[in-house]
Amino acid sequence: MCRHIAYVGSPIPLGVVLNKPEHSLVRQSWEPRRQRYGTVNADGFGVGWYADGDPVPGRYRRRGPVWGDQTFADLARVVRSPALLAAVRDATEADPDGEAAAAPFVGGGVLFSHNGALKGWPGSMARPAAKLPPAELLGLTARSDSAFVWALVRHRLALGDALPEAVADTVREVAGAAPGSRLNLLLTDGLTIVATAWGDTLWYLAEPGRHTVVASEPYDDDPHWREVPDRTLVTATRADVLLTPLKEPTE
């Protein structure tokens, strides 16, 4: 499917996380080590980042493979940020949306990525879709399952849910409507990372007080990487990481 990564901590050039490590996200676009579904992530990529004092992130997204984009290489070398979220995409199905379907999606100062697939999409989502206002459905920036999941999360945030609560409840709702879906979500508001392990790999690397990284797979062989158990919600800052079990939905 996809590989994604988020970082919060001291300001660093984007490339320190995204293309400098031996098994960086860029390398994972053609040679992932722990990807369970798909083998090459060449159907688009994107990165979002925050400037100090500005809650609205910037983004750079494209529809093709990241390894051939010189603009990305230059951007990753010179742009510094205390927080970022990036992804490389292996599309479930061919789509006409181009870079609009590439993560990260953005709204309300939050960056979002989805690694996985909705079982039976789109028919299986009739019940969750019915809870969204028509304007939100018509305003989807892409026709992918990931864009739809992001709309569900955003709707809960607009109703006042905290980020971890909105993410956990969305995952349970979607899993209840479409059992067998893979729902590894990854979000950040620039200070906190929220993620779920639900059907695919997820890891984190923390140096308390300095930085935390949450990613689909380790970007190097540092022994301090920790794998997140399946059916788990991750809430992380630069200071600590909290793992909360997610229960299977019940009817």
pLDDT in tens, 187-201: 999 999 999 999 999
pLDDT band at 101 (very low <50, low <70, confident <90, very high): very high
Record the tokens describing residue 92, joined without a space.
Answer: 């479930």
Cα separation, 87 vs 148, whole angstroms: 17
Report yes or no on 15 lying in a domain. Answer: yes
Report yes or no on 226 lying in a domain. Answer: yes
Report yes or no on 251 lying in a domain. Answer: no
Name the catalytic one among 1, 2, 66, 85.
2
Record the tokens describing residue 247, joined without a space.
Answer: 């229960």
Q: Is 2 a catalytic residue?
A: yes
Record the tokens describing residue 82, joined without a space.
Answer: 């205390």
Using DSSP, how many helices (H) and how many strands (E) does the chain show?
7, 13
Record the tokens describing residue 115, joined without a space.
Answer: 């690694």
Outline where DSSP puts E strands in 118-245. 182-188, 193-197, 203-207, 211-215, 226-227, 232-236, 241-245
Read off the pTM. Answer: 0.96
pLDDT in tens, 153-165: 999 999 999 999 9
Q: What's 7's domain CATH number?
A: 3.60.20.10
Report yes or no on 100 lying in a domain. Answer: yes
Expressed as residue numbers, the domain containing 153 is 2-245
Measured distance between the N- and C-terminal CA atoms of the chain, rounded to whole angstroms: 28
Report yes or no on 153 lying in a domain. Answer: yes
Report yes or no on 20 lying in a domain. Answer: yes
Percent share of the chain, pLDDT over 90: 90
Number of domains in the chain: 1
Report yes or no on 135 lying in a domain. Answer: yes
Report yes or no on 250 lying in a domain. Answer: no
